[in-house]
Amino acid sequence: MRSLIGETATALVKAIKAKKVSVLEVLQAHLACIETRNGAINAIVTLDEERAIMRAKEADEALARGEDWGPLHGLPMTIKDSWETADLRTTAGAKDYANHVPRVDAVPVARLKAAGAIVFGKTNLPAHAADIQTDNPLFGKTNNPWDQSRTAGGSSGGAAAALATGMTPLELGSDLAGSIRVPAAMCGVYGHKPSFRAIPMLGHVPGPPGALSEADLAVAGPLARDANDLKLAMEVLTGPGARDDVAWSLKFPKPRHKALKNYRVACWFNDPYCQVLGALRDQLDAMANALEVEGVTVDRNARPPFSLQQNHEIYFSLLAAVAAAGLPPEVFSNLGRALPLLKLAARFGMVPEALAAYAKGATQQAKDWIGVNEARAHLRAGWDQFFSEYDLLLAPVLPTNAFPHTTKGSVVKRKLDIDGVSRSYLDLFVWPGLAGASYLPASVAPIGISKDGFPAAVQIIGPYLEDYTCIDFATKLGKVFGGFMPPPQ
């Protein structure tokens, strides 16, 4: 087979089971790659080398006896450092958890291991997974493999950067506000945000270690260099938690179509509410043109029955409520007392409007949240109607491609330059919110290199619980438009 570094997870498992390569060889190749490449990228923050080597030898011995551990037998992989891993530190990039060593695995980690995967390391993220870039006081910045002066995205930034540079063949990330999709797009790899509650979140930090409740909006999901690997991982990860599986089961329907030409897609590539970088729009348009040549029904004007602004206002209120759960009591109280002044200051341009919107969402009462949740239900009904006519909505992941590291100061006050225009940093949350607010699945697929020299990506949004339709389209799109391209080394 080809070089072990850069090979897909699916191909590696196939080669291992066919005894064309040993598990130990695959693991050692990735450990050597990390030694060579991680210093410049800073994607891998913890290694469990000794135990991984021992487990690799056990996997090879099991195969020699005719045993098959499962669909991921012997596959070495890394895990985002927000997922608890038994006897291996889980820091969430935060000083508070610098010495946190869980006793048990998070549910998704346990499922990967039960399927035969070997977890050999943890990947970097922003502190508490609370930014769309990856930088924290414990391990520092993760650099984009395409340009080390630029961000790899976040919060699963270490995951995406490790994949792009060949340091791991598969990753487990998490997504509350684009945390799988954003770094996948910025680093030029694949990612999948599953339908809400398709995968249990027990063992994710945040919330605090030991938390038994699951946050609104948040999901677990895979990142990979090939869309087929997303499906491989999803088949292992999905299903109800221990309490629910007494009576419940989950089986995603098959993709809506077998042939690419039978898909009906709508394209929402720009919007006055959140303008998209010209170079990225051009690449998205080129993708749509290529799809039309392949016979796909492409509608550039179709939209769900609400505006991007309406969706974002609902989404941001829900997101702020989740984020506020982790605020210290004194900060939360001060935010509530300051809300009237913030609203007034925002009206006169003295503070960003987003700051007032965040304060309002963070301090809303339960009755207010119920009203916002009802508004979300109307969004979901609108999507149901939309997906009766179209199979998928194609959209940007972000209004821009990878940008220079911008980690100084509060996220509500940061600025970005997009096509020469100074924009609010919080514009980065608008396009991810299309899928996020309504619990929808969304795959991210690379679509080549745009005119600015950086990877471009498309967000493939599908109907609730029709995750395999999103992944199938991403797979077929890769065959038409190139798929993953390794960054220049």
What is the rounded CA–CA span in Å between residue 172 and residue 77? 9
Can you tell me whether residue 120 is helix, strand or coil? Answer: strand
Please identify which of the residues 82, 179, 195, 450 carries the catalytic annotation.
179
C-beta pairs of 353-359 under 8 Å, 24+ apart in sequence? 354/316, 354/412, 354/424, 354/426, 355/412, 355/413, 357/313, 357/316, 357/317, 357/320, 358/316, 358/320, 358/323, 358/412, 359/320, 359/335
- Asked if 149 is an active-site residue, the reply is no
- Please list, in sequence order, all residues whose beta carbon lies within 8 angstroms of the beta carbon of residue 397, skipping any fewer than 6 positions away: 178, 181, 182, 184, 185, 431, 432, 444, 457, 458, 459
Among the listed residues 162, 226, 237, the one whose alpha carbon sits nearest the alpha carbon of residue 12: 226
421-424 vs 76-80, strand pairing mode: unpaired
What is the distance between the alpha carbons of residues 8 and 310, in angstroms, rounded to a whole number? 40
Task: Extract the tokens encoding 120.
Answer: 């050999």
The single residue listed with the structure tokens 């619990």 is 439
Alpha-carbon torsion, ordered 36, 42, 47, 49, to 10 deg: -10
Marked catalytic residue, from 80, 193, 231, 360: 80
Cα angle at 164 between 120 and 33, to 5 degrees? Answer: 50
Instruction: Give the amino acid at 394.
Output: L
Longest CA–CA separation in the chain, Å: 73
> 198 and 216 in contact (C-beta within 8 Å)?
no
Q: Is 388 in the active site?
A: no
3-state DSSP helix/strand/coil percent for the chain, to nearest 5? 40, 15, 45
Phi, psi of 276 (to 5 degrees): -105, 140
179 is catalytic: yes
For residue 73, what are its two tokens? 């037998």
Strand ranges in 311-441 using DSSP code E only, listed in sequence order: 392-395, 415-418, 421-424
Read off φ and ψ for residue 117, nearest 5 degrees. Answer: -70, 150
Catalytic pick among 82, 113, 141, 155: 155
Q: How far apart are CA 164 and CA 146, in angstroms?
A: 9
Q: Which residues are marked as active site?
A: 80, 155, 179
